[in-house]
Homo-oligomer: A and B are copies of this chain.
Amino acid sequence: MKVDLSVEVGALKLRGPVLAASGTFGYGTEVPLLERRALGGMVSKGIFLKPRAGTPPPRIAETPSGMLNAIGLQGPGVEALIRDYAPQWATWDFPVLVNINGESAAEYGELAGRLDGVPGIGGFEINISCPNVEQGGMYFGNDPRAAAAVTEAVRRRTKLPVWVKLTPMVSDIGVIARAVEAAGADAVSAVNTFVGMSIDLNAYRPRLSFRTGGLSGPAIRPLAVHLAHQAARAVDIPVVGVGGITRADDALEFLVAGCRAVQVGTATFVNPNAIAEVHDGVAAFMAAKGFASLADLPRFLPKD
């Protein structure tokens, strides 16, 4: 049975529901082996206006079914991105969203303005949820007013799709989701990493130089599914689920919980072909159940 896996996230048409998550797929030029036919889209590593060195090592630590990272948004800055990567993206057959970061709403807006209209830029994912920077990041993400201000600043500068990446470090994710929806977001990505810490028992200090890091991987999946579900119940714009997806079943949990599409992150580190395997597994599930398209997949979105 032929299954149609294409989805629409706002105005953005994707050939499949599985995207590469920001910071886990570089600029799309690094990962070997991946069968790109299966890639619905890609979100590039988080970028700032200016180049950033990132945090000193150690930057990662492994935990049960997960990993902590504190990369600190290392990146070449927007000009290098436009020069070195955008031209390649312009030739690809899937959209690339740029994960944008700033220390003020104005900076986010300026970044979006600089990138708007550059060939190869398919849209934006506003990162107001990075736990690994001193200013901005997560601190915009757990205040509805700040989150809305950043979203508006970006919305004003571009007609391209604008997604907002939400942080799980809030007591009610629905409040933030509604705030950015009202501010003009086309979709929300739920969720970014959870703040965690791991202690080096030889040095009696945290393993990571930044002390804390963001937890990702299968360990967080049940938390991410819940938060994506809460977001999907709170807003009318599409929700893109992310957190701990390694297999098709994991992606299907997010889709049934109300997500329009999903992103795969850490799994790609372990299995460079993870995205293709998730995509093909979803297709196989749909075929086995007799669903012709994702519109037929039952969703769990009760009103109460």
Contacts and interface: CB of A to CB of B under 8 A. Distances in A.
Nearest to A202: B289
Interface in A232-266: 244, 249, 252-253, 256-257
Contacts of A66: 65, 219, 222
A241 to B, nearest CB: 11
A178 B147 CA distance: 27
A190 B201 CA distance: 20
A217 B63 CA distance: 12
Given A199-B225, A204-B298, A225-B197, A219 B65 contact: yes
Nearest to A299: B204
Nearest to A228: B197
A266 to B, nearest CB: 11
Q: How large is the interface on A (under 10, 10 to 19, 20 to 34, 35 or more residues)?
A: 35 or more
A285 B204 CA distance: 13
A296 to B, nearest CB: 11
A68 interface: yes
Given A64-B244, A171-B142, A199-B300, A223 B218 contact: no
Contacts of A217: 64
Contact of A171 (B63, B171, B223, B229): B171
Given A218-B65, A226-B196, A201 B249 contact: yes
A198 B219 contact: no
B196 A256 contact: no
A244 B219 CA distance: 11
Contacts of A198: 222, 225, 253
Interface in A185-229: 194-199, 201, 204-206, 212-213, 215, 217-223, 225-226, 229
B199 A68 contact: no
B197 A252 contact: no
Contacts of A221: 63-64
A170 interface: yes
A180 B194 CA distance: 25
A63 B222 CA distance: 7
30 contacts: A63-B218, A63-B221, A64-B64, A64-B218, A64-B221, A64-B244, A65-B219, A66-B219, A68-B222, A170-B171, A171-B171, A195-B223, A195-B226, A196-B225, A196-B226, A197-B226, A198-B225, A199-B225, A199-B252, A199-B253, A199-B300, A201-B252, A201-B256, A201-B285, A206-B300, A212-B226, A213-B222, A215-B222, A219-B219, A219-B220
**Which 10 residue pairs are nearest across A and B when measured between Cβ atoms?**
A196-B222, A64-B218, A219-B219, A64-B65, A65-B65, A197-B226, A204-B298, A199-B253, A63-B222, A142-B171
Given A64-B64, A196-B225, A199-B256, 7 more contacts: A63-B218, A64-B244, A170-B171, A195-B223, A197-B226, A199-B252, A199-B257
